[in-house]
Chains A and B, each alone.
Chain A
Amino acid sequence: MNCYSFETLISNYLDNSISHSMKIEAEKHLDQCPNCQVKLNDMKQILHSLHSLPKLKTSANFNEKLMEKIEHHKSKKKFIFKQFMYKYSQPLSTAVAVIILLFGVYYIYNSIFPNMPNQKISTSEIQKNMLNPTQLSQPTKKKINNLQKKPQYVNIQNDDSDSSKMNKDHKSNFKNKIKMVNKEK
């Protein structure tokens, strides 16, 4: 055993928490090394001083003082809440009233004018919504109904496939009309 390895187990040696074989090795090293002997003695002295440091006890009125602190904390909390309410109760109640009023106006407006004039709905949105009709808003439902009744006259943004179909219908109608005029002639 060298000085470094003795140093690493000096506390365990003092606490008597090393194996018997290690203890014998440590003692062998101590017999040959006066430096480590000094170190060990110093350490013993320090430990003795640490153990003999005064053990403190809390003062007799510790619990009473603590209870006072707790009561003070409770009353301070109440006071802060009261002060907050006193200071901000008026603006807070006004803000809440304004919010409620705004929601009320919005709700009434929506129930009177359910169909917003500038609301544009794409066919893809309608198709998507048709899969889950329970989630439809009132104006969307109305537009879908209109579309089912007269699909060709609804002003919607059509997909490419829909527009080509409508163009074909329109062309065939136009050809038929030309034929009819020619026959009349």
Chain B
Amino acid sequence: MGTLSLVTRAARRPPGPDPQTSPAVRAKRRRTRIRILLFLSPWIVGFTVFLAYPLVMTVWLSFTNSDMISSPHFVGLRNYRYMFSDDPQIWQAVRNTGWLMAVMVPAQVLFALGVAMVTARLKAGAGLFRTLFYLPALAPPVAATVAFVCLFNPSSGPVNKILGLIGVHGPLWFDSPVWSKPALTLLTLWGSGTMMVIFLAALLDVPAELYEAAELDGTNPLQRFRYVTLPTISPVVLFATVTAVIAALQYFTQAMVASQTADGSIQAPPGYPGGSTLTFSQQLYTAGFTQFHMGYACALAVVLFAVAMVFTVALLRRASGFNTEEATQ
């Protein structure tokens, strides 16, 4: 079952035995409460200091002109106005991030699902193939990105050389505003082993009897996928998709490293080439940590937070949806 059904499944567990009110029991309950607090204490501190406090501060700072040099003062909605009407790069950053969410994520999910289905059907060497497919997912993102920029180098890289051998004129990849995001997508596909392993486990969890029954009913493979496989694995796919969407929302490392490496300069214009790899997170980083418009960066962070929450809440709501289904079964 889907991971998140656990959230609510746990919640539906009946509460402890009926309360009795003898002093001994009350003392025991107090001890229990203290014990729970003790076990939770690291998290309570972490939640307060490293989540709640900075979250409140982000919102507050987004209304100031903080630059970490002079003391900040309140500037009202100026940062938000700048974001929506004046920032020359923000809409491109939003479009690029949107592209990643709308194209890269589905490509990744479909690819991982496809590879997982092939692997699930293998009769010889399934374990070896699974290992080989998963391996690139372990490559550190920075290393993988640097490597891909080298491999896809239009002048000296093996990819275009091999494409040339089969008569295809390779594009400029990381040096082309049109091809840079597809190149990043290929990098993502290469590293989608984690998702593949998750899907593979879900596929192998589909009860074999269901397939046998469906086969006896004379269904074709496509129908079996549609009516047997998909319903069983869909919670897992949904969870993976939402996680991938949120990852795309904060896509930073690969975009930044790819532009730096492809341009060959540490001061490459953000989003090289032609702003095509500039993401929302990168814009936030530039505003905050190279221009030190901390207030403005916080305004961007507030927007990012709102969008991320929409997806998270959507995920959690769907998760409880699965739960009711489960309950009726």
State whether these chains interact. no
B residues apposed to A, CB below 8 Å:
none
**Which residues of A are interface residues toward B (Cβ below 8 A)?**
none
